[in-house]
A and B are shown apart, each in its own frame.
Chain A
């Protein structure tokens, strides 16, 4: 370094390929999936951060749904005697919890994701959709062991998976995944502007738990007026739950109890419509996100 001398002028020539472009990415979710390596790092980080400093670590993602399962099974099943009217009540609940938990975790963690990653958001240029998507993938990562437990239990009782069953399950997960990401996109931006939205999501997810046939079976809804029934089934998560039960619960019920099993008609087509609706919500979520993303770094 030459102290005090004016800047030297001999600079090398660097030829840069490419065009003059806006430095901020604006391709939304597409950009997220183009940068899979970064996404993988963020997902890994979230998985290790979620139970950071805890002794049981990843075990918590089993303990949480297991305890929920136990409470529902005990209070609803044993004390409120739902066992009598819903055969295989445990499977009925557990197959529903998997998809509901996946959805609420995606929704909740996704909503908080941008504020939680403030230090990156304000200084680094990256597609910010990355954070809600990473939150969804972390929740999906926790779904797999739960599914595994359910399948092992069912296989031991002689349950055999069918092609339609697997398709119904995948459809259910796709609905929860799409709608969860869509709402996470919408609410993660809103949460930057007003933290109230974070609390509001907590209330919403509570409604979701009771607005789907998880603690009670569809046979409680079926006798109601057609418009009430249709309104109830318009909830994509209700469709997702019913699809899960179609896969796991219905075949597990004994032949003698089949009379107690009530499922809505055209379940698969209803599921496909629900997925379509979720995709529409996702597009809306992306549009809203792109509109407000500009203001995120200054308002966070």
Chain B
């Protein structure tokens, strides 16, 4: 099997600025306060993913999952270390696609597909499928800025799954979808997975990670906390221990309303 994603000592440093204007910065400097600080969003993370593997990327909020995905999809570059990928990448980062709010759904489909590397012909051929899957009806010719958050993510997901990709990134894609759409998406992602596409799936829902992934990577404050089989990873995160009484993961997820 060929390596699909190779992350070696990847580090991303963010700078926090406490003050915005010239005046504030000057006052802070005179008082001897710090004007900025850095933190490691992703800190010396290394792993390798084979083509066709399905990875659950887990961790608490702010543990660096989205930053790591942004480095894998090429939106961000690591400050140190390397991230290498093979083939075409599609997917969603942080619950939504990069859409232009002033453009209509239709125009955004073409623009988004073009950014993901699809030609005009290819998009035109898949257009009907994309529209049908997104199921946004007559809102297709309305600017996406007016869409509900659910519609917005449906359209984004629909474009992403119709790109003929080798790597599919799914970052909490289904957090805002309704139940029927979530089911449809899960089925689609299983289909993508079975076709041999490398899948990186970010979710807080342990049961769906269990269904979808054969390996789990856990990030903790930017560092690699765990890398191994799914069940162990979920145990590592203690996501299998509901607060009160023991129950199945499905129940725990359902109670949280996060059954995907």
Contacts and interface: CB of A to CB of B under 8 A. Distances in A.
Contacts of A12: 52, 194-196
B86 A19 contact: yes
B82 interface: yes
Interface residues of B, number: 64
A45 B111 contact: yes
Given A3-B250, A14-B51, A125-B89, A117 B100 contact: yes
A23 B73 contact: yes
B102 A22 contact: no
A120 B156 CA distance: 12
Given A7-B230, A41-B114, A22 B98 contact: no
Interface string B56-73: 000000000000001111
Interface centre among A1, A6, A7, A19 (most CB of B within 10 A): A7
A253 B115 CA distance: 51
Interface residues of A, number: 45
B158 to A, nearest CB: 16
A20 interface: yes
A298 interface: yes
A19 B84 CA distance: 9
Classify the secondary structure of A's interface with B: loop
A64 interface: no
Given A13-B196, A38-B114, A124-B115, A7 B212 contact: yes
Given A7-B214, A23-B72, A24-B75, 18 more contacts: A6-B210, A8-B190, A8-B194, A11-B193, A12-B194, A12-B195, A13-B196, A16-B2, A16-B86, A20-B3, A21-B85, A22-B74, A23-B85, A25-B74, A37-B114, A119-B99, A121-B98, A124-B75
Interface of B: 2-4, 6, 14-15, 51-52, 54, 70-77, 79, 82-87, 89, 93-94, 96-103, 107, 110-112, 114-116, 119-120, 166, 183, 186-187, 190, 193-197, 207, 210-214, 230-231, 248, 250
